[in-house]
């Protein structure tokens, strides 16, 4: 977990990529079936950035790099030998109920986790987190009406980016 997320966001989140890379390298040497790779991706690899994604919006470049590593592992990419990708990655990310693999789309999962935090702020006005953010960023309105600010923390800006997910699902 980054101690401080400032202007060098890429450096702050590099540890996620490194942890995923280490896990994949350890398991790449093992002879895993397709089912074994599926379990490893879903249970271990896609779980590594979960806590960070519930607090911060990951950079698009980092998300792309993580997805590339996962795809290469899934299709057993070794050195310069590229295997045939029989199905598009977007299709593999669809639900198992429709015949796909059910892998998480990292960017959408990140948005969902941040939207869950916004939902908690809306429904728990007595929580410490709500009181701190309200005093600092939306003193005279709700989080849904709060204006974007250039002086806010990256955590606040990440929450603001997820408000649209809540707004789209709200029934007024």
**4 pLDDT tier (thresholds 50, 70, 90):** low
Task: Kindly report which listed range (39-53, 99-113, 139-153) carries the lowest average pLDDT score.
Answer: 139-153
Q: Considering the entire predicted model, what is its pTM?
A: 0.85
Q: Which residues contact 160 (CB under 8 A, 6 or more apart)?
A: 146, 148, 152
Confidence of residue 122 (pLDDT cuts 50, 70, 90): very high
Taking the C-alpha atoms of residue 7 and residue 5, their distance in angstroms, rounded to an integer, is 7
Q: Please, how many CA atoms are within 13 Å of residue 59, restricted to the half-sphere of its CB?
A: 15
Asked if residue 6 has pLDDT above 70, the reply is: no
Contact between residue 52 and residue 13 where contact means Cβ atoms under 8 Å apart:
yes
* Element housing 130 (H / E): helix 128-137
The yes-or-no verdict on residue 82 having pLDDT over 70 is: no
73 with 23: CB under 8 angstroms? no
Alpha-carbon distance of 48 to 4, in angstroms, equals 19
């Amino acid at each position: 977990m980054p101690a401080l997320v400032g202007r060098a966001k890429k450096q702050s989140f590099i540890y996620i990529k490194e942890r995923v890379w280490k896990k994949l390298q350890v398991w790449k040497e093992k002879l895993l079936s397709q089912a074994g790779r599926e379990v490893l991706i879903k249970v271990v690899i896609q779980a590594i950035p979960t806590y960070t994604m519930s607090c911060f919006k990951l950079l698009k470049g980092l998300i792309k790099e993580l997805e590339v590593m996962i795809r290469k592992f899934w299709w057993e990419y070794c050195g310069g030998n590229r295997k045939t990708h029989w199905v598009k990655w977007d299709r593999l990310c669809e639900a198992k109920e429709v015949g796909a693999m059910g892998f998480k789309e990292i960017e959408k999962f990140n948005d969902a986790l941040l939207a869950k935090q916004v939902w908690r702020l809306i429904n728990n006005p007595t929580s410490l987190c709500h009181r701190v953010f309200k005093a600092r960023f939306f003193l005279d309105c709700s989080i849904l009406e709060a204006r974007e600010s250039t002086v806010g923390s990256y955590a606040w800006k990440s929450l603001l980016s997820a408000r649209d997910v809540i707004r789209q699902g709200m029934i007024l």
